[in-house]
């Protein structure tokens, strides 16, 4: 594939020279995963742990977290770097992107709001790739409506006693620690929610179900039954949990958009390869105008998705609030990637739906992105709310 064409967006003004160097380096490094198919992985936990270790050894996890004192590259989360890494890993292999993303998302509440003791205990291992984190927000009755979560954190002496059920937890069953969002007794809605670091071996934490999805990765339902968590494991203040979760998602939703761009670019490249070789009616597919129409559609979607993604990442790195821009990027890029991958399957014809073909695996890999870390519908709601807020109170914008 033409690497120079695939990386031409590095010339955009959203990037600095350090990002251009990073983009080329991660593109070259992640090439090692390009031929791997996730269906061939027998032990997904082991594969994930190995990838995390490899990412750590190669130094990529220094970008997933923050704090130079703890081994990170920067003192704050650098969303352009995270996004460039995710885009290139997603281009190569869904599981490599997943492993990198979860090191970042799972540890971000500590990176952004943890105290020095918590950072010193967890971040170095996350950055080296020896500790695996998880972000435990969703519950059976609290997915899109995150503020409806019911898991309880009851203060008792030097502990919080956790009771409740978390589900759809990425890295569930594999993680060394979980950042769990739970509410103080007698509170409702977004108020009274706490973020607690719960180590996997804590008695009362039990993996009750492993969940299998279209693109295999570690995913589980976790029960907390009288699970005693020391008070020093509270991140930030009591009641700050909802904002901690939302601010974490503001940063990482942009990187979900970047992963979508990576999947879409791969689908476009696989399509170009196919249509320039496949002959029909004495012509290559590429010579047919209907094919050209599809290619134009795919290329436009890829560029528009990348522009929204890196605009949001650049704004975030400039210290601006990006609730709307992150939602715009996540919504548009994941929907666009779905359409691009679908067109790729169409161009590949029968082979496009054959188990194990790259575009078939992309088809399964891209679908969850429109659901996790806030569905497309939630992103639209956030975008509309932010626009209306600015319209009704222009000075707040």
Binding site for ligand CAA (CB under 6 A): 135, 137-138, 144-147, 168, 170, 190, 242-243, 246-247, 249-250, 323, 372-374, 378, 381-382
Nearer to ligand CAA, 57 or 145 (CB): 145
**How near is the Cβ of 323 to ligand CAA at its closest, in Å?**
4
Among candidate residues 191, 185, 194, the one with its CA nearest the CA of residue 230:
194
> Of 232, 251, 234, which Cα lies nearest the Cα of 181?
234
Q: Which is nearer to ligand CAA, 23 or 374 (CB)?
A: 374
| Phi and psi based region of residue 204 (left: phi greater than 0; alpha: psi -120 to 50; beta: remaining) | left
Q: Which is nearer to ligand CAA, 170 or 271 (CB)?
A: 170
> Measured from the CB of residue 320, what is the shortest distance to ligand CAA in angstroms?
12
User: Please, which residue, 246 or 286, has the CB nearer to ligand CAA?
Assistant: 246
Q: Which residue number, 80 or 166, has a Cβ lying nearer to ligand CAA?
A: 166
Q: CA-CA distance, 397 to 388, in Å (whole number)?
A: 10
Which residues belong to the active site? Answer: 373
Taking a C-beta distance cutoff of 8 angstroms, is the pair 105, 281 a contact? Answer: no
Q: Record the tokens describing residue 86, joined without a space.
A: 């995710």
Closest CB to ligand CAA among residues 301, 327: 327
Question: Between 249 and 298, whose beta carbon lies closer to ligand CAA?
Answer: 249
Least distance to ligand CAA from the beta carbon of 14, Å? 21
Q: How far is the CB of 373 from ligand CAA (least distance, A)?
A: 4
3-class DSSP string for the chain: CCHHHHCHHHHCCCCCHHHHHHHHHHHHHHHHHCCCCHHHCCCHHHHHHHHHHHHHHCCHHHHCCCCHHHCCCCCCCCHHHHHHHHHHHHHHCHHHHHHHHHHHHHHHHHHHHCCHHHHHHHHHHHHHCCCCEEEECCECCECCCHHHCCCEEEEECCEEEEEEEEEEEECCCCCCEEEEEEECCCCCCCCCEEEEEEECCCCCEEEEEECCCCCCCCEEEEEEEEEEEEHHHEECCCCCHHHHHHHHHHHHHHHHHHHHHHHHHHHHHHHHHHHCCCEECCEEHHHCHHHHHHHHHHHHHHHHHHHHHHHHHHHHHCCCCCHHHHHHHHHHHHHHHHHHHHHHHHHHHHHHHCCCCHHHHHHHHHHHHHCCCCCHHHHHHHHHHHHHHHHHCHHHC
Least separation in angstroms between CB 326 and ligand CAA = 8
Q: How far is the CB of 62 from ligand CAA (least distance, A)?
A: 21
From the CB of 105, what's the least distance to ligand CAA, in Å? 6
> Both tokens of residue 279?
């002959």
């Amino acid at each position: 594939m033409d690497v120079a064409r695939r990386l031409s967006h590095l010339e955009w003004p959203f990037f600095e020279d350090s990002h251009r160097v990073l983009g080329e380096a991660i593109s070259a490094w992640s090439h090692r995963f390009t031929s791997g198919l996730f269906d061939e992985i027998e032990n997904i936990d082991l594969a994930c742990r190995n990838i995390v270790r490899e990412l750590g050894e190669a130094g990529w996890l220094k970008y997933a977290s923050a704090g130079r004192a703890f081994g990170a590259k920067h003192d704050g989360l650098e969303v352009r770097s995270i996004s460039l890494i995710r885009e290139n890993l997603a281009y190569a292999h869904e599981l490599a992107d997943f492993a990198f993303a979860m090191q970042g998302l799972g540890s971000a509440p500590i990176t952004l709001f943890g105290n020095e003791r918590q950072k010193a205990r967890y971040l170095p291992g996350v950055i080296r790739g020896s500790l695996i984190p998880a972000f435990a927000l969703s519950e059976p009755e609290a997915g899109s409506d995150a503020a409806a979560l019911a898991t309880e954190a009851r203060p008792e002496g030097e502990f919080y006693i956790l009771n409740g059920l978390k589900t759809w937890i990425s890295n569930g069953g594999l993680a060394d620690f979980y950042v769990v969002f739970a509410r103080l007794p007698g509170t409702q809605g977004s108020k009274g929610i706490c973020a607690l670091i719960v180590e996997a071996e804590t008695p009362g934490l039990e993996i009750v179900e492993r969940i299998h999805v279209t693109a295999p990765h570690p995913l589980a339902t976790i029960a907390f039954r009288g699970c005693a968590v020391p008070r020093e494991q509270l991140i930030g203040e009591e009641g700050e949990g909802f904002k901690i979760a939302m601010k974490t998602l503001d940063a990482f939703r942009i990187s979900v958009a970047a992963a979508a761009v990576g999947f879409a670019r791969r689908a476009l490249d696989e399509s170009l390869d196919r249509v320039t070789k496949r002959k029909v009616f004495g012509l290559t597919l590429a010579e047919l105008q209907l094919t050209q129409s599809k290619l134009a559609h795919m290329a436009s979607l890829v560029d528009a998705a990348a522009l929204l993604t890196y605009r949001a990442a650049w704004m975030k790195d400039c210290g601006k609030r990006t609730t709307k821009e992150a939602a715009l990027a996540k919504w548009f890029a994941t929907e666009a990637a779905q359409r691009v991958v679908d067109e790729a399957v169409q161009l590949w014809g029968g082979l496009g739906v054959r188990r194990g073909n790259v575009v078939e695996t992309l088809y399964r890999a891209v679908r969850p992105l429109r659901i996790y870390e806030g569905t497309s519908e939630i992103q639209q709601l956030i975008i509309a709310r932010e626009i209306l807020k600015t319209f009704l109170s222009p000075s707040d914008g």
